């Protein structure tokens, strides 16, 4: 691969899914494959036993790669092959939207995180480290695997699975332990789940396809499950999954102050997992809007030229658990400039300096692994 090759128009988020034996991460992984919101998912595992291949329509296998009938791919690799398979899965022929790495037997989550952040592959972006925890066996797991505290310290999202088997007081106690194990200044967001069922939109956005691209295709296993869920009243189940987290939508028609916004982003509250959207910095950069991608403590800005006649505004969505939506909305509102710049306003030295904090998080070709 040529590390200086230009990235594809949309970078592919790479999500690391970790958890000890019995936590339910395999169940969660298969849940994502069945409820993928139209996304084509590439899964990297240590062996195919982690994926319920028999429950899918297998359309072909080449070497260590299984092609699933719903447009998803599954690769069985070891850690030394990770970069090679990431290159394969991010190629145009794969046409994937999301990549999930199932950490069991592959490498320690911290090591996988470092490998992704240091990767020279320009087509990927870090999508978060998700640690799945067995709520019913939490203390026993900590006794058997004391290293779980290290995993919790670097996790961006903790899925407290099997909460249907414990009471609310016990769940609160475990959440407190997880918060204490978190990294200073930013413990992971924690959401409860039963049978590994979480809303996929916590991890990735619904796929947007060109009109007609998927109108004519083979019926998939996911379609059958969706139809059966609808027959059984599955709409309430979907609503229940969404109720496990909070989301905040913010729009501003005046530019954001770069320094104030960076102060907000540098002090993100506990429980805030993802931030996505576009920011207008006004005179700070009149030519570009800035796509923002934040997962846990990871932050990336990507300048993108404004389209002709495109409204100049900031649009952000914040997703988390246990957050205060009204307070977050007010904090963002306080980051706005007092007024929109005049049509003749130009960037001066003060405006240029105000953008330095933002530009620290813009990836450059000579800094493939910056964050």
Condensed to tens digits (0 to 9), the pLDDT of residues 151-180 reads 999 999 999 999 999 999 999 999 999 998
Q: What is the DSSP string of 103-156?
A: -TTT--HHHHHHHHHT---TTEEEEEEEEEEESTTHHHHHHH-TTHHHHHHH-S
**Alpha helix positions (H), the chain:** 25-34, 82-89, 109-117, 138-144, 148-154, 168-181, 221-231, 235-242, 258-266, 325-333, 349-354, 356-359
Average pLDDT over residues 170-194: 87
The answer to which of 22-31, 48-57, 220-229, 270-279 has the lowest mean pLDDT is: 220-229
Helix (H) or strand (E) holding 293: strand 288-295
Mean pLDDT within 282-293: 94
- Say what the pLDDT of residue 9 is: 61
- Given a cut of 60, whether residue 61 has pLDDT beyond it is no
Instruction: Tell me how far CA of residue 186 lies from CA of 118, 273, 296, 318, 332, in angstroms.
Output: 22, 10, 8, 16, 19
Between 228 and 317, the higher pLDDT residue: 317
What's the rounded mean pLDDT across residues 291-304? 94
Give the pLDDT mean for 5-12.
64
Give residue 252's pLDDT. Answer: 96
What pLDDT is stored for residue 220 in this prediction? 40
- Residue 324 confidence (pLDDT): 92
Residue 4: pLDDT over 50? no
What pLDDT score does 56 carry? 41
Nearest to 347 by CA among 336, 335, 355: 355
pLDDT band (50, 70, 90) for residue 212:
very low
Please indicate whether residue 98 or residue 55 has the higher confidence score (pLDDT).
98
Please tell me the pTM assigned to this model: 0.80
In the predicted model, is pLDDT for residue 104 greater than 60?
Answer: yes
pLDDT of residue 359: 95
Longest Cα–Cα distance in the chain: 65
Q: Give the 3-state secondary structure of residue 99.
A: strand
| pLDDT score of 250 more than 90 | yes
Tell me what pLDDT residue 49 has: 57
Rounded average pLDDT over 131-137: 96
What pLDDT does 291 receive? 95
Asked if pLDDT for residue 57 goes beyond 50, the answer is no
pLDDT grade for 84, boundaries at 50, 70 and 90: confident
Q: Which pLDDT score is estimated for 313?
A: 94
- Lowest model confidence (mean pLDDT) among 111-115, 295-299, 339-343: 339-343
What's the token pair of residue 71?
């447009």
Please report the pLDDT score of residue 142 as a whole number.
Answer: 94
Position 68 confidence tier, pLDDT thresholds 50, 70, 90: low
């Amino acid at each position: 691969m040529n590390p200086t090759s230009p990235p594809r128009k949309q970078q592919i988020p790479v999500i690391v899914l970790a958890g000890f034996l019995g936590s339910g991460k395999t169940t969660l992984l298969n849940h994502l494959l069945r409820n993928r919101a139209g996304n084509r998912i590439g899964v990297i595992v240590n062996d195919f036993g982690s994926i319920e291949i028999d429950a899918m329509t297998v359309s072909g296998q080449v070497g260590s790669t299984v092609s699933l009938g719903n447009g998803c791919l599954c690769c069985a690799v070891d850690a030394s092959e990770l970069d090679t398979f990431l290159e394969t899965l991010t190629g145009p022929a794969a046409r994937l939207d999301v990549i999930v790495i199932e950490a069991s037997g592959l490498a320690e989550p911290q090591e996988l995180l470092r490998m992704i952040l240091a990767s020279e592959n320009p087509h990927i972006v870090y999508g978060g480290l998700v640690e799945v925890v067995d709520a019913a066996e939490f203390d026993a797991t900590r006794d058997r695997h004391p290293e779980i505290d290290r995993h919790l310290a670097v996790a961006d999202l903790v899925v407290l699975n099997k909460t249907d088997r414990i009471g609310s007081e016990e769940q609160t106690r475990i959440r407190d332990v997880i918060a204490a194990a978190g990294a200073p200044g930013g413990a992971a967001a924690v959401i409860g789940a039963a049978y590994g069922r979480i809303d996929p939109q916590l991890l990735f956005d619904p796929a947007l396809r060109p009109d007609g691209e998927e109108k004519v295709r083979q019926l998939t296993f996911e379609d059958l499950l969706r139809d059966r869920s609808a027959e059984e009243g599955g709409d309430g189940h979907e609503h229940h999954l969404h109720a496990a987290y909070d989301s905040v939508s913010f729009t501003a028609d005046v530019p954001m102050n770069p320094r104030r916004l960076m102060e907000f982003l540098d002090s993100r509250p506990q429980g805030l997992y993802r931030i996505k959207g576009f920011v207008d910095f006004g005179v700070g950069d009149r030519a570009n809007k800035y796509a923002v991608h934040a997962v846990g403590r990871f932050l990336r800005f990507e300048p993108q030229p404004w389209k002709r006649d495109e409204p100049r505004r900031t649009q952000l969505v914040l997703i988390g658990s246990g957050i205060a939506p009204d307070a977050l909305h007010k904090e963002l509102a306080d980051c706005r400039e007092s007024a929109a710049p005049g049509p003749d306003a130009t960037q001066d030295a003060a405006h240029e300096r105000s953008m330095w904090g933002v530009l620290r998080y813009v990836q450059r070709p000579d800094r493939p692994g910056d964050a």
